[in-house]
Every structure is written in C-alpha cells, then in structure tokens.
C-alpha cells in the first residue's frame, strides 16, 4: 500500500477535506468514501472527470482558477473558502449558486452581489444571521438538517434540492412554502 494511502483513514478523522494532486489519482475511490469533498489545485486538473463521479462538489482555491470552466461542466456548485475570494466573479458566471462554510464568512457580502442564493451546510451555521441579511432565501441539503429551526426564524422560505428530500416533513412544519428551482433540480 502506498505510504499516503494507508493514512487516509487517520486523515479523515482529523481533516474536513483532502487535497489530491495528479500523483494521488489512484486514491480517489478511497478518499470519496472518507471525505465529503475534495480540493484540487492546478496540478489536479486531469482528475476532474474522475472526481466528478465520486464527489458532489469541489473546493477550489486561488490556485485552481484555471479549472473553473472545466469544473462548471462537471459539478453543480462550488465551494470557495477565503483563499478563493478573487474567483467569485468568474464563478458567478459559471455556477448557479455557491457553498460557503465558516471559512468563507468574509465573502458573504461579495457573494450576495453575485449569486441569487447561498448553500449552507452544518459548518456554516454560525453565518445564518449574516446570510439572512444578504440573501432572500437559503438552500439546505441533507447536511444542513440541523439548521432548519434556525433558518425558519430567519428566512421566509427555503429551497430544497433532491438531496434534501428527507427534510420535507420537517420543513413543512417550519415554513409556509418551499421553493424548487430547475437550476437545482436538474442535477
């Protein structure tokens, strides 16, 4: 076993995501079982197709800017952290919405100018108040189920995609209506 591969289990317990370059392509399947998403920099461009089959979204930092076009063809949305702030304009042209976690809080204002809504997962819970001031509604997927109550206090309605289907009953108790958008439902 490769020296890096045997550490995947340990790393998955300690880190929220992983960076793979072209030398680690054989570990994509194992990593997809252990991590919710992946970070690719410019050295990992050749792995976009494989990663799109294994991960629901991708994290790009400033080193991955040249891959935005390719990623937009393969992933429904993108995660940007604070290191990717300079790519917001480009991403807004290519993706219908954006995922921000707690590391992207400083980008909320810029994103609100460029995207019609935002996706928050459980790591972005602390940003709900700020997002409610900047976006008219919010998208929650299955990872955001624990935030339904908070969101119901802050947003007039919610957007669910197919990944949020299991939350319909809970949402029906908390929101007067629900929004389904073809830009989201299509994927």
pLDDT at 2 > cutoff 60: no
Residue with the larger pLDDT of the pair 95 and 20: 95
pLDDT in the model for residue 152: 92
Tell me the average pLDDT of the chain: 84
Question: Sheet of 38-39: strands edge to edge?
Answer: 18-19, 38-39, 58-59, 78-79, 98-99, 118-119, 138-139, 158-159, 178-179
pLDDT of residue 181: 61
Which one has a higher pLDDT value, 182 or 77?
77
Confidence of residue 40 (pLDDT cuts 50, 70, 90): confident
pTM for this structure?
A: 0.75
What is the CA angle 164-162-99, rounded to 5?
65
**Reported confidence tier of residue 71, pLDDT bands at 50, 70, 90:** very high
Query: Which of 14-18, 39-43, 146-150 is the least confident region?
Result: 39-43
Please give the average per-residue pLDDT across 35-58, as a whole number.
86
- Bigger pLDDT: 144 vs 138: 138
Mean pLDDT of 49-60: 90
pLDDT digits (tens, 9 = 90+) for 120-141: 887 788 889 999 999 999 888 8
Mean pLDDT, to the nearest integer, of 157-164?
Answer: 82
The CA distance from 56 to 16, in Å, is: 15
Q: Which two tokens stand for residue 173?
A: 């108790």
Q: How confident is the model at residue 187 (pLDDT cuts 50, 70, 90)?
A: very low
pLDDT at 183 > cutoff 60 = no
Tokens 């020296």 -> residue: 3
């Amino acid at each position: 076993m490769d020296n890096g591969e045997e550490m995947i289990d340990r790393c998955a317990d300690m880190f929220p995501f992983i960076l793979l370059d072209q030398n680690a392509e054989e570990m994509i399947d194992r990593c997809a079982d252990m991590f919710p998403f992946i970070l690719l920099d410019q050295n990992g461009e050749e792995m976009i197709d494989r990663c799109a089959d294994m991960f629901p979204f991708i994290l790009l930092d400033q080193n991955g800017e040249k891959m935005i076009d390719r990623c937009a063809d393969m992933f429904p949305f993108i995660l940007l952290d604070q290191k990717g702030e300079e790519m917001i304009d480009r991403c807004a042209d290519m993706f219908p919405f954006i995922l921000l976690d707690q590391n992207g809080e400083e980008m909320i204002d810029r994103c609100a100018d460029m995207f019609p809504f935002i996706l928050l997962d459980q790591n972005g819970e602390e940003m709900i108040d700020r997002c409610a001031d900047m976006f008219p509604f919010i998208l929650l997927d299955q990872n955001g189920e624990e935030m339904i109550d908070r969101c119901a206090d802050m947003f007039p309605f919610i957007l669910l995609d197919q990944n949020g289907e299991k939350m319909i009953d809970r949402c029906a108790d908390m929101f007067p209506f629900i929004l389904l958008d073809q830009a989201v439902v299509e994927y």
